[in-house]
Structure 1
């Protein structure tokens, strides 16, 4: 996939698609669907099997805990041994454990067994989104013309964020459709089948870089201590606050709709934000370079904060839809911005690790906020639950302020994943 100039020297592929092939994108899109189905699928399964919403929420939280504890290690394994063996092993284990969870939920097994199985499901979850970002960022950084890298990187990260938005909107819909038509076990079984088929196809795709030798790893793998740099940690915390927003907003919205006797429509109403978020995420690629990343973080976080402030006055559906639309303007571009920072701040050779840290932070925040917001809505009511998205948005603004202080006004020193300019 290289061109040769008149002197016989190899030149990088002229386009990203010529390097990946068109089939890569639908495979990578469907392969991330099981991850989006996992949390709500476990909730649906356990509530139906054990008759306890509280127990269902706790098991969903155990899935998030498993992702938090082991997800970054899966990313580190991919950086060290290659994505292909790592994803094949994780995908096979996750498919088996999803099937086991469906059986355990309906069996007389004690609660601790259910918790342990849910944790194991999260721990083995193949995080396709971070892996896909890592692949594409690596290709752009190493194989495409230098002058096109900044714009192309922004476009790719915008596409990836939009793809995540679509999947995270469609995932709950798929869970609801399967659970309604076939039973509560069906979403988990469907996730297992999709994992086995599409994660395997993603793992085997030609863009999966081969494992490096010990000598290559020593030459190209930055020390793990570089993962603890403040600039990278504040990026991880920033995306954690976005996860807090997702979890608190969806749960509070469900409570809001339940008060109106139409809880089943919560996912459709939530889609107003998801669709707008996906559209504006794609639009980030059109923003001028002088609108720097550190400025974007603050501007988009403030837009979310404004939407959540309006949310506090939402006492009818039109006002709720308006506030969701305002949040959608900010949330998609903020995700693109955070992943852009993650890509640029990844230590050499640890792109998959960093992207998995970001993906784990998003999922952990979502699971934690969903559990807390569920308790608040039950004990204190919907109005109290609607305050939590405001708190998460305020934390995102504070993280953006900290990032502003940590990010130089010009170029960020120490290019890591490749020679890509920051601002």
Structure 2
């Protein structure tokens, strides 16, 4: 490969990153949007929590299948079909909640909303990893890989904070159905644009259409399963934190301000997520996981004792330092441990784990807040952080003693090809 190989930005083109960023917004709006809509339309917080949990269940059941289909048939046809199905499901959700149909119909549509959700963030990671492996000079791959994983995690952080914030703004300014309808419009326009972007075909074309896919059994390797468990913990953290913050702010007569307070956490998270690319190679991935999970555990342990909004915001800045780098590390490990030809499958498994955790924790934390009060709800994020830490300890045992040779792993992807584009 020529030493004058293009940068990743030149390989993707200038429109790729803006399209990929906006296209992932509906995924971050689904759980909270459905919760808000159902609570307003059916006047039941418990049923709203159950409905949002059904969204997570749908994503858990079908998200990895969409990834597997993308590995087999390419991202473009899978995303076009999923985008149309998701737009239809979101539109149906906005209608069925206010219809005379029974609750079972609402739950069924909520399940379809999750099942049809286009997996933009995982698909984007899969594309970019393949472009790095196939289009960049070997000397540039490892650093570009680190930077790309850092950016992608920061982008996820951004949309998982902006998404609930947009739900709050649209629901308050317009109507509870507006966030779901808005997500449907964004899905139709930007998911379609993401599917049709030239990067959806470039690596498949480079291999002449040949597809090599590892056996599905390789997805059950312990070293990969522990990464999925760890990122599920991050999803649990997102859901429990937003819901407990809502209860905290509601006690102070400002429940609608929860999204703004939650956004404070994203500042430290995004800054440190992007800073991961500057970490020395000696700071191994397994060590990074434990280090920043430790920050997460320490911060959430203090959470139940905070009494003022100002103190809460300061603590959230600290907690955010632990969130971003942990996600970057987990997605990096997922990319490096993906079996041949299963890149999109693995990335969608990780993405689905986040939303499953978010939906589950939102429902459980909401129930605790209603029955036992805000103090009980504020303990749940510590439990979620503990899941992340325990998974990190298991990962330490399962990881090789020497730091992973990321450049070698990317070189292997160049030689054998990964089919997720």
Q: State TM-score, norm by structure 1.
A: 0.93
* Corresponding residue to 2:315 among 323, 326, 340: 323
Residue 124 of structure 1: aligned partner? 116
Counterpart CA distance in 1 for 2:356 and 2:318 is 24
Tell me if structure 1 keeps the 8 A contact 2:134–2:203: no
Q: State TM-score, norm by structure 2.
A: 0.94
* Corresponding residue to 1:401 among 373, 393, 396: 393
Tell me if structure 2 keeps the 8 A contact 1:348–1:417: no
SS in structure 2 at match of 1:119: helix
Counterpart CA distance in 1 for 2:20 and 2:334 is 20
Structure 1 unaligned blocks of 5 or more: 1-8
Q: Post-superposition shift, 1:61?
A: 0.6
Residue 6 of structure 1: aligned partner? none
* Corresponding residue to 1:164 among 156, 172, 176: 156
Counterpart CA distance in 2 for 1:224 and 1:107 is 42
Tell me if structure 2 keeps the 8 A contact 1:82–1:210: no
Are residues 1:283 and 2:283 paired?
no
Q: Post-superposition shift, 1:419?
A: 3.5
Tell me if structure 1 keeps the 8 A contact 2:290–2:393: yes
Q: Post-superposition shift, 1:172?
A: 1.4
Counterpart CA distance in 2 for 1:317 and 1:101 is 35
**1:406–1:129 distance in 2 versus 1, CA, 3 Å:** same
Are residues 1:79 and 2:87 paired?
no
Residue 377 of structure 1: aligned partner? 369
SS in structure 1 at match of 2:146: helix
Are residues 1:342 and 2:338 paired?
no
Counterpart CA distance in 2 for 1:218 and 1:193 is 35
Residue 32 of structure 2: aligned partner? 40
Counterpart CA distance in 1 for 2:18 and 2:386 is 36
Q: Post-superposition shift, 1:14?
A: 2.3
Deviations 1:288-327 (A, max 9, x none): 1111100000000000111011213212223212221111
Residue 294 of structure 1: aligned partner? 286
Residue 358 of structure 1: aligned partner? 350
**1:106–1:412 distance in 2 versus 1, CA, 3 Å:** same
Are residues 1:235 and 2:227 paired?
yes
Q: Post-superposition shift, 1:11?
A: 6.8
Counterpart CA distance in 2 for 1:417 and 1:38 is 34
Q: Post-superposition shift, 1:169?
A: 1.2
Counterpart CA distance in 2 for 1:72 and 1:32 is 16
Residue 3 of structure 1: aligned partner? none
* RMSD of aligned Cα (Å): 2.0
Q: Post-superposition shift, 1:95?
A: 0.5
Counterpart CA distance in 1 for 2:363 and 2:49 is 6
Tell me if structure 2 keeps the 8 A contact 1:104–1:114: yes
Find runs of 4+ consecutive structure 1 residues off by over 2 angstroms.
9-14, 209-213, 215-219, 411-420
Tell me if structure 2 keeps the 8 A contact 1:82–1:211: no
Write out aligned runs for 1:25-64 (5 A). 25-64=17-56
Counterpart CA distance in 2 for 1:372 and 1:46 is 16
* Corresponding residue to 2:239 among 247, 261, 278: 247
Deviations 1:263-283 (A, max 9, x none): 111111111101221111001
* Corresponding residue to 1:21 among 8, 13, 21: 13
Q: Post-superposition shift, 1:235?
A: 0.3
Counterpart CA distance in 2 for 1:164 and 1:255 is 24
Tell me if structure 1 keeps the 8 A contact 2:138–2:411: no
Residue 137 of structure 2: aligned partner? 145
Counterpart CA distance in 2 for 1:252 and 1:15 is 43
Tell me if structure 1 keeps the 8 A contact 2:276–2:328: yes
Q: 1 or 2 for the larger relative contact order (CA 8 Å, sep ≥6)? A: 2
**1:416–1:222 distance in 2 versus 1, CA, 3 Å:** farther
Residue 102 of structure 2: aligned partner? 110
Matched residues, number? 412
Counterpart CA distance in 1 for 2:245 and 2:313 is 11
Residue 367 of structure 1: aligned partner? 359
Counterpart CA distance in 1 for 2:280 and 2:189 is 40
SS in structure 1 at match of 2:154: helix
